[in-house]
């Protein structure tokens, strides 16, 4: 079982490497990979595709700044965040807005594994943890 999972993981990683062009996931390459998996008798296809999906999702998340906000967010602010993140991560980063009233005020920006916390709810949580 463990060796099956390992083999599936390895194949998923190889397929993922094939899907990346110039540091970004290319949609047409992903289509090609899916076609390959469908046509060829790949062992444990569900396991391979799940691992592949996880790798692709992680990679895509690195190129998107998910801006959670309470209150209004202007397009210019989103553009400023996108350009700042593009500079920080040295790769093209786009910004998407997501309304989260429970933040009370301020912003929370997710880029890949990183979170930039600048919300009132976050500060209150930090204060509560410190106390």
Partner 1 sequence: MSTALEQIEQQIAKLSSKAVKKNTGSIRAIADGVAKIDGLSDVMYNEMVQFPGGAIGIALNLEEDEVGCVVLGDVAQLKEGDEVTTTGKLLSVPVGRELLGRAVDALGRPVDGKGPIEAKESYPVERIAPGIIERKSVSQPLFTGIMAIDSMIPIGRGQRELIIGDRGTGKTTIAIDTIINQANINKVGLASGDPKFRPVYSIYVGIGQKNSNIVRTMSALEAAGALQFTIVVAAAAADNPANQYLAPYSGAAMGEWFMENGMDALIVYDDLSKHAVAYRQISLILKRPSGREAYPGDVFYLHSRLLERAARLDGKGSLTALPIIETLAGDVSAYIPTNVISITDGQIFLETDLFNQGIRPAVSVGLSVSRVGSAAQIKATKQVGGKLKGELAQFRELAAFAQFGSDLDPKTKAQLERGGRIVELFKQPAFSPSAIELQVAVLFAMQKGFFDAIELKKVVEAAVSLRSFFTTRKDALLTEVRTKAALDKDLEAKLQAACEEWKASYAA
CA pair distance 117, 26, nearest whole angstrom:
30
Which residue number, 38 or 96, has a Cβ lying nearer to partner 1?
96
Which residue number, 30 or 55, has a Cβ lying nearer to partner 1?
55
CA pair distance 119, 62, nearest whole angstrom:
21
- The set of long-range contacts for 123-131, using a CB threshold of 8 Å and a minimum separation of 24, is none
Which residue number, 26 or 115, has a Cβ lying nearer to partner 1?
115
CA pair distance 28, 30, nearest whole angstrom:
5
Q: How far is the CB of 58 from partner 1 (least distance, A)?
A: 8
Residues that bind partner 1 (CB under 8 A): 9, 13, 54-55, 58, 106-107, 109, 112-118, 122, 126
Q: How far is the CB of 39 from partner 1 (least distance, A)?
A: 26
């Amino acid at each position: 079982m463990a060796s099956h999972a390992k083999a599936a993981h390895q194949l998923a990683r190889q397929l993922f490497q094939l899907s990346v062009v110039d540091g970004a996931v290319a949609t047409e390459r992903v289509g090609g990979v899916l076609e390959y998996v469908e046509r060829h008798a790949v062992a444990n296809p569900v396991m391979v595709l799940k691992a592949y999906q996880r790798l692709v999702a992680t990679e895509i998340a690195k190129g998107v700044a998910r801006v959670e906000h309470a209150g209004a967010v202007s397009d210019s602010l989103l553009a400023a965040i996108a350009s700042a993140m593009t500079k920080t991560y040295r790769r093209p980063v786009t910004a998407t807005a997501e309304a989260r009233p429970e933040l009370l005020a301020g912003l929370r920006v997710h880029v890949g594994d990183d979170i930039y916390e600048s919300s009132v709810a976050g500060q209150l949580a930090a204060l509560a943890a410190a106390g």
